[in-house]
Structure formats: C-alpha cells, structure tokens
Amino acid sequence: MGETFAMKVLGRAVGRSVSEGEIVFVEPDYVLTHDNSAAIIDKFESTVPGGRVKYPDRIAVVLDHVIPAASSKNAAGHRKIREFVRRQGIENFFDIGAGVCHQVMPEMGLVLPGSIVVGSDSHTCTYGAFNAFATGIDRTEAAGLWITGKTWLRVPETINIELTGSFSAGISAKDLILTIIGDVGAGGANYMAVEFNGPAVGGLRMADRMTIANMGIEMGAKIAAFPSNIRTSQYFRELDIEITGAVWSDHDADYARTLEYDLERIVPVISRPHQVDNVVPAGDLEGMAIDQVFLGTCTNGRMEDLKSAADILRGETVHPDVRLIVGPASRREFLKAEAQGIIADLVRAGAVMLPPGCGPCLGAHQGALAPGEKCLSTANRNFKGRMGEKEAEIYLASPETAAVSALLGKVTDPREVLK
Amino acid sequence: MTVFHYPQDDINTDLLFPGKYTYTCSTGPEIMEHLLEDLDPEFAGRVRPGDIIIAGENFGCGSSREQPSLGLMHAGVRAVIARSFARIFYRSAINQGLLLVASPEAVDHYSEGDEVSVDPSAGEVRVGDRAFSFPPLPDEMLEILEDGGLLDHIRKEYSGGEGE
C-alpha cells in the first residue's frame, strides 16, 4: 500500500517511514501566532524568565485579530508583542494592516509545499492549499514551541476527496466546501487529514484552494491538503521562490474513506445558525430578510472574492435595509482589487470598507450584531455569539450569494441574477 | 460533587468561551467570569473543584482559543467526559493538565443523580453502578498531563536537563 500526504510529510520530518496512529516529534518549519502572542509571551516569560526563543527565524507573528486596537488593553497587548519580537530578533513580524495571518503567511513566502506549519489559530489548516502540512494548536503549545522548537503530532488517517468537473456560473469554492462539511459533519473528519485530489483540482485557483482548505477545521480535520501543480508553481514563481519540497500522495495510498464530488452538481448553499454543518440550498432560505452582509476574512477576502461581488454590484446600490461590510484579506489583496477598480465599485454600491484583518468575524469589534439581527457572512463560522451577540443569527455563504442578497435585501440564489 | 450534563453534540469553543473576550481575558480569574456563558450562564457561579462535565460528540470544536481548557482547569473541574473531543481542544486540555475521558458508553449510561468518578491510572470511569474502561493516553502525552501541563513539563525538563 502506498503512503498518504500526511505520512510522507511527517515521515520526511523524522527521517523514516511512519504509520498511522503513531506519535512523532517534529520541529515545525514555522510557528504562527497573532494578537494572542501577548498572552503567549506571558506564558513564555513565566516558564523561562529572560529566556530566548529557540528558533527566532521559525517564528512568525501577525497582528490581525483586533486591529486597529479596539481598546487600551488591546493596544497594550500589541505594544508588548512589538517589544518582544524586537528583543528576540523575530524578523517575521507583520504589524497591523498587513492582513489576516492566513493570507499574509503565504504572501510572505513562509508557507512552502511539503513544509510543516503550526499556528495558534484553528484556521492554520488554510496552508494546505499550498501543499503544506498545517494545523492549529493552542497558546500554551505555541509558548512551548517558542522554547523548545518541537512538538508531538499523531500521524493521522486520511479522507480522500476526489473532485471532478467545473463550477457552473454563480457557484464557487465556498459552495463546494460548505456542501462537503454538510455531508461529513462538524466532527466527521476529527483527528484526520483530508486530501483534495482529482482532475478538478488543476482548475481551482489558489484563492479557491485557500477557501476550501481554510474550512477543513469545520469538519474537524487536522489538515486539509492539496497537491502541488502548475498553479502552485506559478504562485511561488511570482514570489521568486523555487519549490523543492512538494509532496504527492501515492496513487495507491490507503485512505480511510474516499468521497467524490462533481463540481458541476454543486449548487449555491448556505450554512444556517448555529453550526457550520447545518447546510441547505440557498433556495430554501429564499426571501429571508437580512440586516448585514459581511464580505471578507481568510475564507473569502481575496481579490477574486471581492471581484465576484463587484461584478454583481457594479453600478448598483445595496438594499437600503442592508449594511454591506467589506474586509480585504490583506493589504496586497486590497491593492490588487483597488488596481482593478473593484474597491471603488464596492464603495460606490454602498460598502463600508474595513482595514485588512479579521474584522467582525470573531465578534470582538467592527460590525458586531444587535439582538435578533441576521447577518449573511462569507466567513467560516456561524457559532452562537460568534459576532458578539448570542441572540443574533449568522448565515454563511459564498461571495456571489452574499452580493446578490445584499443587493436585494433578502437571501437570493445568485443564479437568478446571473442568468 | 456536581455533574454538569450537556448532552448535545458539537459544543463549540464560542459556547465555552465567547470570542469577543478572547483578547481581553487570558488569566484564570478573568476567564472564569465568562466560562460557558452562552451555554449555561449559571455554570461559572456554581462550579466547584472536583465537579465533572458530561457531554456528547465533538466537544470543544471550533477555535484554538485555550480559555475553555484553561478556564475549566482553573475552576478545578476534575474531568470532562464526552462521547468524543475535537482535536485542538483535546491537545489543549493535555497542555493545561485537564483530564478528558472519551467514553460514549459512560455518557450514554449516565442519568441525572448518578455518582461519577474517574481513575485515570486505571483507565476507568465509574457512572452509578457501572464501570467503563477508556483507552489510556500514549506515554508522551501522559507525561505532560502528569506533570500538570506542558509548561510545567518543560520547566521540569529544563531544570532537570542542561539548565537555563
């Protein structure tokens, strides 16, 4: 039997072949932390007072979660982080405005095919789009990694998802991954790796792969990985990076399960409150009035997503009862969209622009909801209380569905407008 | 000893600790004020050291925030017994020294008023008149748990090793 992607990456890291279920100790290529670094610094200092981080060049810190600071307490945390990275010689520090960590890490060339990246953020699995083995850890483990440079990983079993066909008009990667999560369930891939393979992968843009890998955690997956191919090479060529470590699973790899999806058959879907796996066709909610639409985040805040929305909203005005909030995933994506006139289109249509960052996604600031309000969001979670108010409802959808619904003030299947 | 019974599946980290407090509350006492706020507003006031939580599948899914595991540890919760746990929460609990027991049988057998106890070294959870075994942690993780969490484990390794 051949080996899966996870077996190969972890096997290479320990210099021998590994078996599923085995515990291995690895030194990750990068440890990512964000605003939570302030609390991690406290843990680090209390464990090794005055100590040095083991590998300053394997640490990346991105300020993105509550930026610009919403309170003096946030600001003090940010200042503590700036002082720490300077003192410790951590050069991969990206201050407010760079963007959401999961967009910034690949942009800065820190996520390479075949590498191992851990991050104190559950959506670290996004880097599977770039053929990396990437997974989330807690703050304490990040502090431990700063000190020791190593951690343990269990070699996971793998679910293989075979993709064929191509999307119809008005349907995108978000509809696919929400459909998969609805089928697999919130815990259906718990402790497991997910691989996306099949002929359709070549047709998926890197932005699409990021949207899909980003939500792997919403079915419990440890990693969600794509093979490296021409588009991957093109992405790194633009960064002037030569790929040397890409890993492909064997054709006869032993998978726990294989699921097949024909992109042709995917329809616009929406994830209803308060669980991501609560997925229904958008048509089932047709006509439901909404108060806010949020376009952005590490799931759907890239130029391609903003363009899909702008193509729908250009020359129009969003419904007067709807607030449209847009948060680009990074400064670079913001500028790419700006150069194409996409930002102007969105702002003219009534969008309120946020700085590149996590924005309202985690409910700490910017665009919180009032009790009883409904938000249609392109983010990755609709948990109760997620956007700051437990009596509010969050519905997850694609940029296309979000834009069409913002225009009409009610949930609408984008195919009705894009005919 | 009180048993807090939340039978539903997929109790996520936002229910265990709302995201809006993530960057303003990080110490035990700060976390305690909001622990399980959107799941059971009475929990924080009622929980006492030695108490046990019983829940369904995929407990702790969602965010990697550690306030849920750190908070439950600070509250002195003896163990969380669930049908299954989400993996980041599972790791985080080990890192905090919080005992987790994955035992669908024990969860299914529980009815209100049953006495519940856990013996991690024997790998046994007792619910009412029945005992259920659960698989022991691999040695690497058991060491961390027994040292009281990852940072205590590292402190011990460093003071016992070449020194800092």
Q: What is the pLDDT along chain A (419 residues), one digit of tens a residue?
A: 899 999 999 999 999 999 999 999 999 999 999 999 999 999 999 999 999 999 999 999 999 999 999 999 999 999 999 999 999 999 999 999 999 999 999 999 999 999 999 999 999 999 999 999 999 999 999 999 999 999 999 999 999 999 999 999 999 999 999 999 999 999 999 999 999 999 999 999 999 999 999 999 999 999 999 999 999 999 999 999 999 999 999 999 999 999 999 999 999 999 999 999 999 999 999 999 999 999 999 999 999 999 999 999 999 999 999 999 999 999 999 999 999 999 999 999 999 999 999 999 999 999 999 999 999 999 999 999 999 999 999 999 999 999 999 999 999 999 998 87
* CB-nearest partner of A122 from B63, B140, B155: B63
- Which residues in chain A have their CB less than 8 angstroms from residue B66's CB? 138-140
- Which residues in chain A have their CB less than 8 angstroms from residue B84's CB? 187, 190
Nearest CA in chain B to A40: B26
Task: Return d(Cα A413, Cα A409) in angstroms, integer.
Answer: 12
The structural domain count of chain B equals 1
Task: Return d(Cα B9, Cα B82) in angstroms, integer.
Answer: 9
Task: Return d(Cα A409, Cα A317) in angstroms, integer.
Answer: 11
The pTM of this model reads 0.97
The label of the residue with tokens 């503590």 reads A80
Domain-embedded: residue B164: no
Q: Above 90 in pLDDT, residue B159?
A: no
Instruction: Print the domain residue range for B93.
Output: 3-136
Task: Return d(Cα A108, Cα A94) in angstroms, integer.
Answer: 10
The CATH superfamily of A271-416 is Aconitase, domain 3 (3.30.499.10)
Task: Return d(Cα B26, Cα B21) in angstroms, integer.
Answer: 9
Binned at pLDDT 50, 70 and 90, residue B138 comes out as: confident
To the nearest whole percent, how much of chain B has pLDDT over 70? 97
Are residues B91 and A48, on separate chains, in Cβ contact within 8 Å? no
Does a cis peptide bond (omega within 30 degrees of 0) precede residue A274?
yes
Domain-embedded: residue B142: no
Strand pairing category for A158-164 and A116-119 = unpaired
Domain-embedded: residue B22: yes
- Output the pLDDT for position A410: 98
- The dihedral region occupied by A218, where left means phi > 0, alpha psi between -120 and 50, and beta the remainder, is alpha
Interface list for B 39-68 with A (CB within 8 A): 57-58, 61-66
- Output the pLDDT for position A8: 98
Domain-embedded: residue B7: yes
- Which residues in chain B have their CB less than 8 angstroms from residue A144's CB? 95, 150-151, 154
* CB-nearest partner of A43 from B88, B151, B158: B151
Interface residue of B16, B40, B64 to substitute, partner A, most A CBs within 10 Å = B64
- Output the pLDDT for position A328: 98
Domain-embedded: residue B35: yes
In 3D space, the residue among B18, B51, B49, B24 whose CA is nearest the CA of residue B36 turns out to be B18
Could you tell me the CA-to-CA distances from A16 to A5, A8, A340, B136 in Å, in that order? 14, 9, 49, 26
Neighbours of A405 (CB within 10 A): 31
ipTM above 0.90, yes or no: yes
> pLDDT tens digit string along B18-35?
999 998 899 999 999 999
Mean pLDDT of the B76-100 span: 97
Are residues A390 and B18, on separate chains, in Cβ contact within 8 Å? yes
- Output the pLDDT for position A41: 98
- Output the pLDDT for position A251: 96
- Output the pLDDT for position B160: 60
Nearest CA in chain A to B157: A148
Task: For chain B, give the number of residues.
Answer: 164
Angstroms from B28 CA to nearest CA on chain A? 12
Token duo for residue A208: 């699409």
Task: Return d(Cα A399, Cα A172) in angstroms, integer.
Answer: 8
Task: Return d(Cα A76, Cα B26) in angstroms, integer.
Answer: 14
A146 touches B102 (CB < 8 A): no
What is the CATH number for B129?
A: 3.20.19.10
- ∠ CA A232-A233-A236 to the nearest 5 degrees? 90
Q: Above 80 in pLDDT, residue B50?
A: yes
> In sequence order, what are the beta bridge partners of A118?
A31, A135
Task: Return d(Cα A378, Cα A328) in angstroms, integer.
Answer: 12
Instruction: Kindly state the helix (H) or strand (E) to which residue A326 belongs, with its residue range.
Output: strand A323-327
Neighbours of A283 (CB within 10 A): 16
- Output the pLDDT for position B162: 44
* CB-nearest partner of B91 from A65, A77, A138: A138
Token duo for residue B156: 């011990």
Which of 3.30.499.10, 3.40.50.150, 3.40.50.200, 3.30.870.10 would CATH assign to domain A5-247+256-262? 3.30.499.10
Q: Above 70 in pLDDT, residue B163?
A: no
Task: Return d(Cα B105, Cα B78) in angstroms, integer.
Answer: 19
Are residues A77 and B155, on separate chains, in Cβ contact within 8 Å? no
Number of Cβ pairs < 8 A linking chain A and chain B: 141
In 3D space, the residue among B58, B70, B96, B135 whose CA is nearest the CA of residue A220 turns out to be B58
